[in-house]
Structure 1
Amino acid sequence: MNPSLTPRIAFVLTLPPLLWAGNAVVGRAMVGSVPPLALNAMRWWLALALLLPIAWRVLRAPQEITSRWKHFAMLGLLGVGSYNALQYMAVQTSTPLNVTLIAASSPVWMLLVGRVFYGERPSARQLAGAVLSLAGVLLVISRGSLDTLRQVQLVPGDLLMLLAILLWAGYSWMLARPPTHFRGEARPAWGWAEFLLVQMLFGTAWATLAAGIEAPLTATTIHWTPAVIAALVYVAIGPSLIAYRAWGLGVSTVGPAVATFFANLTPVFAGVMSAALLGEPPRWYHGAAFALIAAGIVVSSLAPRRA
């Protein structure tokens, strides 16, 4: 066992998947009450307001932001602006359990984006893990039916979530391989809050633009109820701020390979929450898909044997 994985860090790493699962369930519960792109925009505006008192000092040197605006505009588009918007759109027709299981296939798309855009050649173990994860995704999309898979009958929400994961992979590679003006001594002396705030500034602009385009095209209007307000507060604080901070702390302590195992708790939590709150119990193929995806993560994370 990793010596850094103390009970405290294990608890910290359990928080993000729990909060992310709740994000998918809340998005599903808000169907018909709040348009998905409006929910995404309001979520990030509120999160931005909450983070501003902590990280406002980054705005005292605007030239450090404006000189890197292209990089942050793309980060904001792929991360804050697109991923959660597509997830909220996905749960309009799919289920929280489905979208979180599909999200657990991210190693497949991470390898694909790395190979195509960054020339990163995957190892045999990584490819084997990707095949297992992809098998799990196909099992979810097919609903456990070979006939359905042959007919390629896909729920629109499943396809939207696949697109979201592909964009998230691009976002993650941009973080891992930043441009030269963001490496070494050229990197600004920002903490996690300052870096997240700058991303949110650009991402919230994208989210607001998308919500503005959505407004005249949707028949759904916002019904302000205590439940809607509580949901908005939850998605702004839990999945947006607490989860980001806890994930960063956990990864910096035990490393991404160990942390990834905790991330795959998301569909487990989503299944329990969906059954308890939405009356959407998991099916047999959800358990089988989770086993395949988890096996893929284990295989791809194994260290190669030493000669």
Structure 2
Amino acid sequence: MKKSYILLFLILANLFWAGNYIFGKFVVAELSPIQLTFTRWLIAAIFLFPLAHWIEKPDWKSVWKEWKVLSLMGMLGIIGYNFFLYWALTYTTSMNAALVNSITPAVIVLFSFLFLKEHISFLHVIGLILSLFGVLLVLTNGHLQTIFHLTFNSGDLLMILAILVWTFYSLIAKKIKNVPAISATAVSVLIGVVLAAPFAIGSGLNLDLSNQAMVGILYIGIFPSVCSFIFWNISLRHIDASQAGVYLNLIVVFTAMLSLILGQKITVVQSLGGLLVFSGVYLTTKKKKDSKAMASP
């Protein structure tokens, strides 16, 4: 697959995930974390299976033979991460949650090195630091000293759990190469929905939702849930998990852009932070090409 397509897929995946923060903020006020997680993926499953059958035409028997790994992916990336994310937002501020979430690429780099033995070059480290610095500029509006005055509560600790869950999901997804990406996502989503159903139904689903919440659920169920996961899993089959992880910093930048569209002001410092994030991502994508050149005979 061309590098330009991988770049586009990673950008779109994080753009749609940024929308999850915008719309999720509205929906979580009317649905509990487990109810929102269940409803989100139930909608996604309706789209994923037809898409997988139409685009990939998989041998479903072969796909289901990987049910153990796909079940683990369903528990981690489909249910676990989203549940902890929405649960965290009920206790902590969006700024604290975003700040904690910004360490995700660093965690993925560390775990990729420890468990997948992926090479980390000096240029990769520079790109990671640069993009992380850009994220911090966006989050603090240029007042970096405020980082040391933030208080961490139970919601922040839940975000750390969410990050760990997502890291392991990314590493596991990297190992699945004999199952088509969309089909793997569809099956893992279905397994996740089945596992979450008793808890969501048992907690009492709220069907009396506002129009705003309904629009939010539909967006979350289609774009971040279907499109982002497909784009993310396809990309992980062509680049290192540590490289893909750096793109997660774009979520903050895209969230700022979406806020601007909704009428909120974006400062010069935030714009500068966005440029630093993109610069860091560019340096990280250069890493793989350079390392291949050095490894050639």
Query: Structure 1-normalised TM-score?
Result: 0.71
For residues 204-238 of structure 1, what are the alpha-carbon distances to aligned partners after superposition, in whole Å with 9 as ceiling and x for unaligned?
Answer: 2344355468x38xxx9564233222222221111
Contact 1:22 1:273 in 2 (8 A): yes
What residue number does 1:300 align with? 284
Asked if 1:233 is matched to 2:222, the reply is: no
What residue number does 2:24 align with? 27
How big is the shift at 1:76?
1.1
For residues 60-113 of structure 1, what are the alpha-carbon distances to aligned partners after superposition, in whole Å with 9 as ceiling and x for unaligned?
Answer: 63x852x53332222112211122223333444333x77567655533111111
What residue number does 1:197 align with? 186
User: Which whole-Å CA distance do the structure 2 matches of 1:59 and 1:3 have between them?
Assistant: 26
Unaligned runs of 5+ in 1: none
Given residue 266 of structure 1, which amino acid in structure 2 is its aligned partner?
Answer: I
RMSD: 4.2
For residues 100-159 of structure 1, what are the alpha-carbon distances to aligned partners after superposition, in whole Å with 9 as ceiling and x for unaligned?
Answer: 676555331111111233344522222333333444555567675565433452365555
What residue number does 2:258 align with? 273
Structure 1 counterpart of 2:148, from 120, 127, 150: 150
How big is the shift at 1:177?
2.9
Contact 1:83 1:164 in 2 (8 A): yes
SS of the equivalent of 1:302 reads helix
Superposition map of 1:241-260 within 5 A: 241-246=226-231
What residue number does 2:76 align with? 78
Contact 1:36 1:89 in 2 (8 A): yes
Q: 1:293 to 1:175 in 2, by over 3 A?
A: same
Asked if 1:106 is matched to 2:95, the reply is: no
Superposition map of 1:29-68 within 5 A: 29-55=26-52, 61=61, 65=64, 67-68=65-66
Given residue 194 of structure 2, which amino acid in structure 1 is its aligned partner?
Answer: A
User: Which whole-Å CA distance do the structure 1 matches of 2:9 and 2:60 have between them?
Assistant: 32
What residue number does 2:170 align with? 172
Given residue 231 of structure 1, which amino acid in structure 2 is its aligned partner?
Answer: G
User: Percent of aligned positions with the same letter in both sequences?
Assistant: 28
User: Which whole-Å CA distance do the structure 1 matches of 2:247 and 2:150 have between them?
Assistant: 31
User: Which whole-Å CA distance do the structure 2 matches of 1:284 and 1:206 have between them?
Assistant: 45
User: Which whole-Å CA distance do the structure 1 matches of 2:199 and 2:270 have between them?
Assistant: 32
What residue number does 1:87 align with? 85
Q: How many residues align?
A: 287
Of 31-40 and 50-59, deviating more is: 50-59
Q: 1:212 to 1:127 in 2, by over 3 A?
A: farther
Contact 1:33 1:222 in 2 (8 A): no
Given residue 220 of structure 2, which amino acid in structure 1 is its aligned partner?
Answer: V
Contact 2:49 2:186 in 1 (8 A): yes
User: Which whole-Å CA distance do the structure 2 matches of 1:21 and 1:210 have between them?
Assistant: 27
Given residue 21 of structure 1, which amino acid in structure 2 is its aligned partner?
Answer: A
User: Which whole-Å CA distance do the structure 1 matches of 2:144 and 2:12 have between them?
Assistant: 36
Given residue 52 of structure 1, which amino acid in structure 2 is its aligned partner?
Answer: F
User: Which whole-Å CA distance do the structure 1 matches of 2:153 and 2:239 have between them?
Assistant: 37
User: Which whole-Å CA distance do the structure 2 matches of 1:251 and 1:69 have between them?
Assistant: 19
User: Which whole-Å CA distance do the structure 2 matches of 1:289 and 1:77 have between them?
Assistant: 34
SS of the equivalent of 2:31 reads coil
